[in-house]
Amino acid sequence: MSDMPSCQFESRPRRIVIGSSGVQTDFCSTCSVRPNSICSVIEPGDISRLSEVAVEAIVPPGRGFIEEGAPATDFFNVTSGTVKLFKALPDGRRQITGFAAPGHFLGLAVSDSYAFGAEAVDTVRVCRFSREKMTELLDDFPKLERRLLEEASNELVAAQNQMLLLGRKTARERVASFLLDQMQTGLLPGQDGNGGRLHLPMTRGDIADYLGLTIETVSRTLSWMRAQGMIEVGKGYAITIVSIAKLEVLAAGNG
Amino acid sequence: MSDMPSCQFESRPRRIVIGSSGVQTDFCSTCSVRPNSICSVIEPGDISRLSEVAVEAIVPPGRGFIEEGAPATDFFNVTSGTVKLFKALPDGRRQITGFAAPGHFLGLAVSDSYAFGAEAVDTVRVCRFSREKMTELLDDFPKLERRLLEEASNELVAAQNQMLLLGRKTARERVASFLLDQMQTGLLPGQDGNGGRLHLPMTRGDIADYLGLTIETVSRTLSWMRAQGMIEVGKGYAITIVSIAKLEVLAAGNG
DNA sequence: CGCACCATTGAGAATTATCAATCCTTGTGG
DNA sequence: CCACAAGGATTGATAATTCTCAATGGTGCG
């Protein structure tokens, strides 16, 4: 496929917010994704502990920041943008195992090396924690551990759903399932009820690698869905869901 | 496929070992899989706590004991035999998401209903914990929570590997990967080095549902591997690995 | 002994992949 | 501002892997 991107950050700015008194402020306390992330279990009085160990980083589109097989030195929390997680075979075949949206925690692994790679789909901001700092936090905040277990359990459920999709669903069923899933995260503002405009930040190639298909099959399937009046394919990364009901019939298992 | 088995236990014997003094003994302390299970983090002095909340059950081959979508009332620990975990589509298509060997913990899910079904492959023994009793244990033994997180992380890694297999590997690669995986758990005693006799407790149908293939393709692929001198297919559930090297070349990605 | 279930093998069909050409969009530089 | 280059997307024609349908053979249990 494409050339393997390097595993370096574009920049690694320690984003320190200076308050009126000139003292470092807890940027975690103003973090917009904290309510949806594991950080929400840290009490307001302890948030400074978070800010001390977290480092903000900005990852430009297409840049990888976790390399499969590399030493697992850091954990990440996505604060904005979309990240693709993937595994690859020696000959280049790639399977995207998931897309991480803001609030998602990355790096769950007992091994000392990453079991997957991670790459920014669009411009991504992440909070980075070193492995040892994270361990300290876990020791000091038992709630954090329970929250991580929740997070892991949720990912496990998602992984099981994806295995069902990859192992047993047809191309049409896969794409339908994908579009419905994306309505959880990709819905444009003001959209809700029986339809909705979606912003899909990933390319057809990414979708294909996520669904275990080829680019061409994804494209053809979307065209077929458009012909069926299920969706409208806008330019860029926009897709409009015209009939959720029809997609749900497909996704449930009528290829 | 086959008719859906009921979600009942064959029997639910509270296995209470009566010591010489006539007092109930901790059967957990003699449990052969404890070193490999989450129970290993409970200190010897606290093992009685385990025995109090655990109930042993025997599940006959083919019997289901977790029904997908049913209220998640219990957790399980496999103590002997092999369990298949699966998800199904309305029309009967089934994806086996994993095989659980002795020591495996079942039921990780935040939801109040099971996200997957479980069924005994051969005769299975499990330890059952009620959800509330398990919660109490988690509160009293922080180490247990950390161990569960480890368990979940390991399953996540396995799930990611399986997604790569299902989404991007050819039939031959899938079967090769499967056979190599099974050498971790299914090796018959006395086997080790460059080959080994495997006991696969599951049917071809189970293997097919695990690998996202059909029974026929699994069978044909095994026949092809035999013709290539990679394996020997014995009668019953025996398979002999003749050349690990050839299988590894296949599994790594040469279809 | 016969039935039921599982496994193997064959022939043909179907879904999806591969190869290839064209179009569209976007960004860049003259 | 326009032309061009580059990457992504779409569509078409063909190929290949895998599935489906079907028949046969083996194994174990009642």
Place of tokens 């090769």: B176
Gap between the Cα atoms of A225 and A219, Å rounded: 10
CATH number of B27-165: 2.60.120.10
Q: For domain A17-165, give the fold.
A: Jelly Rolls (2.60.120)
Tally Cβ neighbours within 10 Å of residue A184: 8
Contact assessment for residue A161 and residue B158, using Cβ atoms and an 8 Å cutoff: no
Q: Which residues contact A245 (CB under 8 A, 6 or more apart)?
A: none
The yes-or-no verdict on residue A17 having pLDDT over 90 is no
For residue B16, what pLDDT is reported? 41
Q: How would you label A107-145 residue by residue, b for 16+ Cβ within 10 Å and e otherwise?
A: bbbeeeebbbbbbbbbebbbbbbeeebbeebbeebeebb
Q: Which helix (H) or strand (E) holds A87?
A: strand A83-88
> Would you give per-residue pLDDT tens digits along chain B (255 residues)?
333 344 444 444 444 433 344 445 678 888 899 999 999 999 988 998 888 899 999 999 999 999 999 999 999 999 999 999 999 999 999 999 999 999 999 988 778 999 999 999 999 999 999 999 999 999 999 999 999 999 999 999 999 999 999 999 999 999 999 999 999 888 877 766 667 899 999 999 999 999 999 999 999 999 999 999 999 999 889 999 999 999 999 999 887
For residue B255, what pLDDT is reported? 77
Contacts across the A-B interface (CB distance below 8 Å): 130
- Tell me the average pLDDT across A158-170: 98
SS3 B100: strand
Gap between the Cα atoms of B127 and B83, Å rounded: 13
- Bridge partner list, B241: B196, B231
pLDDT digits (tens, 9 = 90+) for A172-182: 999 999 999 99
The yes-or-no verdict on residue A11 having pLDDT over 50 is no
CA to C1' distance (Å), from A103 to D19: 41
Say yes or no for a CB contact (<8 Å) between B95 and A211. Answer: no
For residue A196, what pLDDT is reported? 87
CATH number of A169-253: 1.10.10.10
Say yes or no for a CB contact (<8 Å) between A154 and B252. Answer: no
* Residue B188 DSSP one-character state: P
Domain ranges of chain A: 17-165, 169-253
Q: For domain B170-253, give the fold.
A: Arc Repressor Mutant, subunit A (1.10.10)
Say yes or no for a CB contact (<8 Å) between B162 and A163. Answer: yes
- Interface of B to A at Cβ within 8 Å reads 87-91, 93-95, 97, 108-111, 115-116, 138, 142, 145-146, 148-150, 152-157, 159-164, 166-169, 209, 211-212, 252-254
For residue B11, what pLDDT is reported? 41
Nearest amino-acid residue to C24, taking CA and C1': A235
Tell if B89 CB is < 7 Å from nucleic strand D: no
Which residue of chain A comes nearest to B207, CA vs CA?
A: A167
CA to C1' distance (Å), from A58 to D15: 45
Cα Rg, chain B, nearest whole Å: 20
For residue A25, what pLDDT is reported? 63
Which positions on chain C have an atom < 7 Å from some protein CB?
6-11, 15-20, 24-26
